[in-house]
Chains A and B, each alone.
Chain A
Amino acid sequence: MSEVKDGEPALANGPRASANGQRHGQDPVLVVSGLTVLVRGEDGPRAVVEDLSFSLSRGETLAIAGESGSGKSMTSLAIMGLLPKPGARIGGGSIRLGDRDIAGLSEGRMKAVRGRRIAMIFQEPMTSLNPVLSIGRQLTEAILAHEAIGRSEARRRAIAALRAVRIPDAEGRLKQYPHELSGGMRQRVMIAMAIALKPDVLIADEPTTALDVTVQGEVLELLRDLQRDLGTAVILITHDMGVVAEMADRVVVMKEGRAVETGEVGQLFDAPQADYTRDLLAAVPRIGEGRGRMETRALESRAAPPLVQINDLCVRFPIRSGFLSRVRANVHAVEGVSFEIAAGETLSLVGESGCGKSTTAKALAGLVDYSGDIILEGTNMAGRTSEERKAQRRKVQMIFQDPFASLDPRMTVGDLVAEPMVIHGTARREERWARVAGLFDRVGLSADQMARYPHEFSGGQRQRICIARALALRPRLIIADESVSALDVSVQARVLGLLRELQAEFGIAYLFISHDMAVVENVSDRIAVMYLGQIVEMGTRDQIFGDPQHPYTKRLIAAVPRPDPHARRRAFERAASEIPSPVRMIGDPPNRLELHDLGDGHLVASRA
């Protein structure tokens, strides 16, 4: 059973290994048995968690994995007694913490358990802290709520907790407000708040899903170190099998409210028993495995003019201040970016939040003002009349990240797909409907669903509708901005498959924007890595993943959790500092990076 950690020296992992050894010891910290959570539905109560049982020992990490709607978050809320009221309630079973059943505890009694015995961190660090209270206040109040100590003692403990989560200048942070911290820093504050009272159980609900991949690596490592030092038992709720492989001792795989499989992490990944687990693992995109991976197409058409050529693209957002609102500084969102996309090619833009990848896409789609040249099929968009630009832009369509927010809820999906044709006047009414029906059919929906409204569809279906809408004008280039990031892996795999088929069929080029390196590795012909508004490395998929040159590219690739428990990283290389600000005063432009060709079009920025 300790094979789980082979490849890691036992000594380095001493306390944890021994905790694992006692995994099935006499006194588990938390025992959940037969838990059922009911949610009020239109036709009576519906079970979102059904007959779920598991136990958790000291120092152990149990991952609850599953796709959206599997009931994993409901389970964690049930344990915390935080089920949304009214509507959801515990319908049966017990949750034993030590020798007490906390399933039916009153709000008043539960209050003493929350934070003190069981703490929780949530997915959204950006919204999980109160914006109007200082970090110090939010930390100390958590401590003071449970311990009869003075303010100065609480403050001292708060600082110690911030140090424990490796926040630089812990004392200075107490005075700061959440909006002054980055997402990664906020999640650290959340963790500090959760561990300040050394709880027995820490529930981490998708703790790194909203974070950039390099930050995710650091936060996961932090959780692991803290657990080792404090012996806390951790319930890790996640949809990401990479994170499961990286973190968990044991895994519960949930589907539709039921546990379909429970087991040691090594066994589960090596020899999954349930069909669902097998499917889930198969759908996970992996770097360099070749599964579902396309051949990099030889770009024989290099000689032909590229579909899109972007030269020295700059996008700046002015910051105004003073009596007359003069521009004092600029946000240099995109700074001198140049690249080409050939017809039928997939170019991926990768990088972390704020690196300018989405802004580049918006400039290309004509949604923000820019300087530099965007040449679409030989026509420079700059210096054209708006009519000419509109005609050109028909060739460029976008698919956005959130399939729920990008469809107008008051329009039927048929109208939504037909709308681009109406706007551009490209088809008559009868023709339009025939085309929409054809598009629906093409993206895997049936034409008789055209009269329905967006809310009647699932996330994956909605993304198909968005794809159909993008296809309506027969574009040459589709910009897919994090288009599969919000989807479950199994749905994601199918949508990526559809995008691939469409490319083969219509010769569409994609500008694929993603933070998920594994997905990027699976879909791209070429990749451009962006950092702070500039491209630091660009090349074919094999050049970037096989032979990354720039340190930032290496960091990005190394940060991706591998869905393989036998290949755990020992320690993740920590960033020396946070990514610097892209805000520059007037007259102080950022250094332009120069790209050097290492051969075969593999461009790398020289180190400044």
Chain B
Amino acid sequence: MKKDTFSGFHPVVNMLYFVFVIGFAMILNHPLYLGVSLVSAVIYSIYLKGKKGIRFQLLCLLPLMIITMLLNPLFSHQGVTILTYFPNGNPLTLESILYGIAAAVVLITIITWFGCFNEIMTSDKIIYLFGRVIPALSLVLTMALRFVPRFLSQIKQITNARKCIGQGVQEGSMRKRIRHGIKILSVLVMRSMEHSVDTADSMKNRGYGLPGRTEFSIYYFDRRDKYVLVFLLLCGAGIIAGLVSGSLKFLYYPAFGSVILKGTQNVFYIAYVLLCLLPLFINVKEDLKWKSLNRVSPFKT
């Protein structure tokens, strides 16, 4: 992971940010809001993951988006603008296509945001936030979140080790290959089970979740956290106000509503744009500062 300044903020700030962006991505359906959320999620994901992020976007999410997009008009025939008719006699409407696109955008936006969430909200942050409130659940959660990447790295290790003794999945007849594959899987399962039992025992021995147990954490809630938190709360409150007042409501059916924002809607929109782009602002600002400091650094000359 690239050095990310936003992840250095207090876990409460990180968590609140993701609660807001993911929650609003689910609730808001105005096309402009969807667009902003999608763009900032994709940029942030690429910023965090680099080349891997781009590959994931193109190979996994783009096809997923296209499939989701195409499915809606096949099953929904609502809408005032009839383009043509399906062979069975139901109409293909412009509104159903647009709604399909919107639903697909929501889906991949949320997946992308969760990808960022995984990068930022490491297990220690989750334990820090929820360890005292819901100890068992947060432990399970961190273990589960850790499970897939651990599995992947271990499978690599075991495969390499088996290859060294001539029992890799590429060697021998079909039957042997299958046998080798099963062996790798069995080792993998055994190892991860043992590991989870170890973890559970270890946490128990340390008195995890017991009353009166103190915890060490490296997190400080300093001034910049305060500013960002206030900013987040203001943006969030503004958007929630917009939602409650109903001015963020957007209709796809029966007729596609007007995309143009009017009056106070612009205020809500600006709040949403700032909210979504917040980590990028922080990171870019920090990067620029780092560069400018380097330029005048006496050590470099």
Do A and B bind?
no
